[in-house]
């Protein structure tokens, strides 16, 4: 079970929001639950329209589903909201990133030698290759984040996430065994490695893999993994 926490620090009151997503690969279940210290969020109480707030929520929710860290910055480029994946990603870089101020400092250090704009309303992708390497920053133009905020997505190339098992079964009619195999392949595991860890014969794994190819209409493992990566954005 993976718990994803989202936090918000407002200028007044230090309120926060905690979101936990229960994800049990063995039971193939995924059920979000929400806990709100204050039902009215800071964005709505500040007069931001509900459609704009929902737009921000949809983007951050999508980043959560694909296992990507995100930071929401205010006009002063200070972190006001983040998820657990962002915290973990920055901590792997040797940073102490458990508060809004700590995350703001960690982000400044991460991009210290790389030009970064993070314009209000924008979405920027910070691609991290490995510890100590300069990240690559890609900016998306257009109005995305409301109320002068900006979103910074932290994409750790070493972090691999997979699709929702229930979504896989619903889309392609996979068996439980085929679903487990698809999730392992999405994480980068080789079929023979999977066979050894599950104490199954090569013939059994190859038969399940052939069934995966047929049901997903793919022909090669690389094509299947690419498809699984695209599906990971779905709920």
Interior angle at CA 230, CA 34 and CA 145, nearest 5: 50
Mean pLDDT along residues 6-12: 46
User: pLDDT tens for residues 176-211?
Assistant: 999 999 988 887 889 999 999 899 999 999 999 999
For residue 23, give every residue at least 6 positions away whose Cβ sits within 8 Å of its Cβ, in sequence order, or none. 1, 2, 29, 30
Tens digit of each residue's pLDDT (9 = 90 or more) over 40-78: 333 333 344 455 555 778 888 888 887 789 999 999 999
Residue range 136-156, pLDDT digits in tens: 999 887 777 777 889 999 988
Distances (CA, A) of 55 to 8, 58, 59: 17, 5, 6
pLDDT recorded at residue 132 = 66
State percent of the chain over pLDDT 90. 34
What's the alpha-carbon Rg for the chain, to the nearest Å?
20
Please tell me the predicted confidence (pLDDT) of residue 145. 78
Question: Residue for token digits 């969020």?
Answer: 41
State the fold for domain 165-231: Arc Repressor Mutant, subunit A (1.10.10)
pTM for the model stands at 0.57
Distances in whole angstroms, Cα of residue 100 to Cα of each of 16, 22, 40, 81, 233: 11, 24, 20, 7, 26
Angle between helices 176-186 and 221-231 (to 10 degrees): 90
HSE-CB at 123 with a 13 A cutoff on CA atoms is: 17
User: What residue ranges do the domains of the chain occupy?
Assistant: 6-156, 165-231
**Cβ of 89: how many Cβ atoms within 10 Å?**
26
Average pLDDT in the chain: 76
Answer whether 71's CB lies under 8 Å from 152's CB.
yes
């Amino acid at each position: 079970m993976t718990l994803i926490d989202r936090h918000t620090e407002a200028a007044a009151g230090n309120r926060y929001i905690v979101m936990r997503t229960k994800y049990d690969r063995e039971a193939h279940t995924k059920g979000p639950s929400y806990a709100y210290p204050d039902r009215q969020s800071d964005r709505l109480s500040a007069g931001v329209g509900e459609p704009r707030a929902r737009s921000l929520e949809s983007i951050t929710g999508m980043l959560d589903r694909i296992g990507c860290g995100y930071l929401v910055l205010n006009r002063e480029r200070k972190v006001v909201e983040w998820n657990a994946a962002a915290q973990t990603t920055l901590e792997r870089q040797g940073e102490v990133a458990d508060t809004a101020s700590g995350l703001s400092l960690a982000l400044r250090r991460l991009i210290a030698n790389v030009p970064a704009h993070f314009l209000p309303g924008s979405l920027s992708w910070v691609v991290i290759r490995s510890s100590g390497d300069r990240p690559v920053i890609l900016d998306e133009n257009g109005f995305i984040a409301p109320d002068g905020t900006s979103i910074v997505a932290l994409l750790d190339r070493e972090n691999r996430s997979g699709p929702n098992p229930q979504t896989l079964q619903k889309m392609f009619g996979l068996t439980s065994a085929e679903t487990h195999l698809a999730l392992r392949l999405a994480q980068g595991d080789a079929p023979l490695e999977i066979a050894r860890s599950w104490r199954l014969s090569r013939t059994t794994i190859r038969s399940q893999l052939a069934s995966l190819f047929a049901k997903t209409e793919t022909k090669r493992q690389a094509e299947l993994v690419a498809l699984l990566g695209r599906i990971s954005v779905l709920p």
